């Protein structure tokens, strides 16, 4: 998917836009994650375990849900299952980090990642997750299985995590869950009691009531791939991809942990002028994130903001653009034509980013919901492209209907540009009919 510093720069080279926040509907306040757990929290890590134990009244569980349980004796079936599960987990995680980044107010761009290039940020972590999702889909393709890009349903539950993954605005509680997942494995494996971070980690585990973290699903994927090859399965050598996975898993993990820890403790430079920001009321103008609901859906928007049809239309447009992005990525992983990936990135970093940042100012977050449309995965490239073309026209019409209600930085020409680009590479004829490129035959 996104590769190297160049792609990262493209993802973060986003222009700021201006606008005032709107009043958050009172009915959303009950949907906000509770923020009373750490009212007594101090910057002294020594006090954390007692504070957190008292606040949660819970102790870490003993079971390790991150340990992968085998379902198939056949190594190829097991490998496909593991890869699909891993793809779902990474997909959910990248949307979660993106949603939290989008929830941040103006002034916290260094935390969210806008224009921060290679500096550690929430969107840098999301990009790392996107890269892993790309590797899992490349591995699926290498062994003859279709890509797996089905939008996750939130709250997202997985055997890989002892808690659900939610689309939620950034908060201290959300950061605790991020830390459990992103910290170096050694910090959460119960064998580093003498670590300088041992007390901090113990406090996080107590707060979340989670066990020590096991090896997770990655080693199981590597083992299943090796077992399949050893058993004589007609599979290519997957070593290059498993090596990439291990590199992505380890590279930057210490930096991610320090960054998230600083946010959790309120010691990040972005918070310097505001003290412990997580103690502020969520209604305080300097509280980092907008007060938006967790796990929003179009049904929630319709029932809560029925009088403001523009918010519902903006959310629907966001879902259309998200579906377009996934459809283009699906074509890329099936047919390996770089143009598909480039166009997918353009939609993710253009309209999806624009709407993701804009909706929180209106009291709502981008749902990232699956569009209720026909499944074209069993069709050939020519017929799948027809669905993509239909999505592009649908999204263009929806954007034009919104007119001045669009975000100021929304790229109104992006769908038309994509249609034109498809035509340039021989995928769409002048008459509008679809022709599969040679690489996709």
The full DSSP string for 236-265 is ---HHHHHHHHHHHHTTHHHHHHHHHHHHH
Task: Give the separation between CA 181 and CA 202, rounded to whole angstroms.
Answer: 14
Residue 39 in this model has a pLDDT that exceeds 80: no
- Would you place residue 8 in the very low, low, confident or very high pLDDT band (cuts 50, 70, 90)? very low
pLDDT per residue as tens digits for the range 361-404 = 999 999 999 988 766 666 677 778 888 999 999 999 999 999 99
Number of helices followed by number of strands (H, E) in the chain: 16, 0
pLDDT at 295 over 50: yes
**Beta-carbon neighbour count of residue 214 at 10 Å?**
18
The secondary structure of residue 37, as a DSSP letter, is: T
Q: What are phi and psi of 291, to 5 degrees?
A: -85, 90
Q: What DSSP line would sit under 135-166, residue for residue?
A: HHHHHHHHTTPPP--PPPPSSB--TT-SS-B-
* pLDDT on residue 30: 39
pLDDT digits (tens, 9 = 90+) for 169-212: 999 999 999 999 888 877 877 665 556 788 888 889 899 988 87
Please report the pLDDT score of residue 84 as a whole number: 96
pLDDT tens-digit map of 237-274:
888 888 888 888 888 888 999 999 999 999 999 888 77
pLDDT of residue 278: 93
The pLDDT of residue 433 is 59
Residues 6+ apart with CB under 8 A from 117: 8, 9, 12
**pLDDT higher at 214 or 97:** 97
What percent of the chain clears pLDDT 90, i.e. is strictly above it? 47
Spatial separation of the C-alpha atoms in residues 194 and 433, rounded to whole Å: 66
Other CB atoms within a 10 A radius of the CB of residue 429 amount to 11
**Rounded distance, CA 225 to CA 49, Å?**
41
Per-residue pLDDT, averaged over 10-33, amounts to 36
Q: Shortest CA distance to 247 belongs to which of 323, 135, 359? A: 135
Residue 275 confidence (pLDDT) above 50: yes
Q: Where are the beta strands (DSSP E) in 102-232?
A: none
Extents of the domains making up the chain? 1-37+45-275+282-295, 296-441
On the question of pLDDT at 12 being above 90, the answer is no
Cα–Cα distance for residue pair 162/211, rounded to 1 Å: 8
Is residue 25 over pLDDT 60?
A: no
pLDDT of residue 242: 85
Does the structure show a pLDDT above 90 at 46? no
β-bridge mates for residue 156, sequence order: 165
Per-residue pLDDT at 237: 83
**Region for 209 from its dihedrals, namely left if φ exceeds 0, alpha if ψ lies in -120 to 50, beta otherwise:** left
Once rounded to an integer, what is the mean pLDDT over residues 317-321? 97
Which CATH number does 296-441 carry? 1.20.1260
What pLDDT shows up at residue 43?
Answer: 33
d(CA 424, CA 428): 8
The C-alpha atoms of residue 175 and residue 173 are separated, in whole angstroms, by 5
H or E segment and range at residue 19: none
- Checking if the pLDDT of 413 tops 50, the result is yes
Q: Once rounded to an integer, what is the mean pLDDT over residues 51-56?
A: 36
E strands in 93-134: none
Closest C-alpha among 334, 305, 274 to residue 111:
274
Residues β-bridged to residue 165? 156
Predicted pLDDT of residue 18: 26
Assign 216 a pLDDT band (cuts: 50, 70, 90).
confident
| Per-residue model confidence (pLDDT) at position 98 | 97
In 3D, which of 353, 371, 365, 355 has the Cα closest to residue 294?
365
- CA dist 440 and 336 (Å) reads 8
Residue 15 has pLDDT above 60, yes or no: no
Q: Is the pLDDT of residue 7 over 70?
A: no
pLDDT of residue 26: 44
Q: What's the whole-number average pLDDT of the chain?
A: 80
Task: Say if residue 4 is exposed, middle or buried (CB neighbours under 10 Å; 0-12, 13-18, 19+).
Answer: exposed
């Amino acid at each position: 998917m996104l590769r190297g510093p160049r792609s990262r720069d493209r993802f973060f080279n986003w222009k700021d836009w201006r606008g005032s926040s709107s009043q958050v509907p009172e009915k959303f306040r009950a949907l906000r994650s509770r923020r009373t757990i750490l009212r007594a929290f101090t910057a002294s890590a020594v006090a954390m375990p007692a504070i957190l134990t008292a606040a949660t009244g819970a102790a870490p569980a003993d079971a390790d849900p991150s340990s992968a349980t085998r379902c198939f004796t056949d190594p190829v079936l097991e490998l496909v299952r593991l890869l699909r599960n891993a793809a779902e987990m990474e997909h959910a995680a990248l949307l979660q980090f993106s949603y939290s980044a989008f929830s941040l107010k103006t002034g916290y761009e260094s935390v969210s990642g806008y224009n921060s290039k290679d500096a550690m940020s929430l969107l840098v972590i999301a990009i790392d997750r996107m890269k892993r999702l790309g590797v899992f889909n490349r591995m699926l393709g290498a062994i003859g299985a279709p890509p797996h890009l089905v939008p996750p349903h939130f709250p997202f539950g997985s055997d890989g995590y002892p808690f659900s993954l939610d689309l939620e605005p950034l908060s201290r509680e959300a950061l605790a869950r991020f830390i459990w997942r992103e910290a170096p494995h050694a910090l959460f494996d119960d064998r580093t009691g003498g670590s300088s971070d041992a007390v901090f980690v113990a406090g996080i585990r107590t707060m979340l009531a989670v066990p020590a973290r096991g090896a997770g699903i990655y080693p199981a994927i590597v083992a299943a791939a090796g077992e399949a090859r050893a058993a004589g399965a007609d599979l290519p050598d997957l070593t290059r991809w498993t090596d990439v996975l291990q590199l992505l898993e380890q590279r930057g993990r210490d930096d991610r942990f320090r960054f998230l820890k600083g946010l959790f403790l309120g010691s990040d430079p972005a918070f310097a002028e505001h003290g412990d920001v997580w103690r502020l009321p969520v209604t305080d103008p300097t509280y980092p994130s907008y007060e938006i609901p967790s796990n929003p859906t179009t049904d929630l928007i319709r029932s809560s903001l029925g009088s403001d049809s523009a918010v519902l239309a903006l959310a629907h447009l966001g879902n259309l653009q998200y579906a377009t992005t996934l459809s283009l990525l699906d074509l890329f992983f099936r047919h390996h034509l770089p143009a598909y990936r480039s166009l997918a990135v353009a939609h993710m970093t253009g309209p999806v980013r624009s709407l993701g940042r804009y909706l929180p100012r209106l009291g709502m977050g981008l749902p990232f919901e699956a569009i209720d449309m026909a499944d074209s995965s069993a069709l050939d490239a020519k017929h799948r492209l027809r669905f993509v073309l239909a999505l592009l026209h649908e999204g263009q019409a929806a954007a034009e209907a919104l007119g001045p209600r669009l975000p100021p930085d929304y790229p109104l020409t992006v769908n038309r540009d994509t249609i034109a680009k498809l035509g340039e590479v021989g995928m769409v004829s002048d008459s509008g009919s679809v022709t599969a490129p040679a690489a996709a035959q």
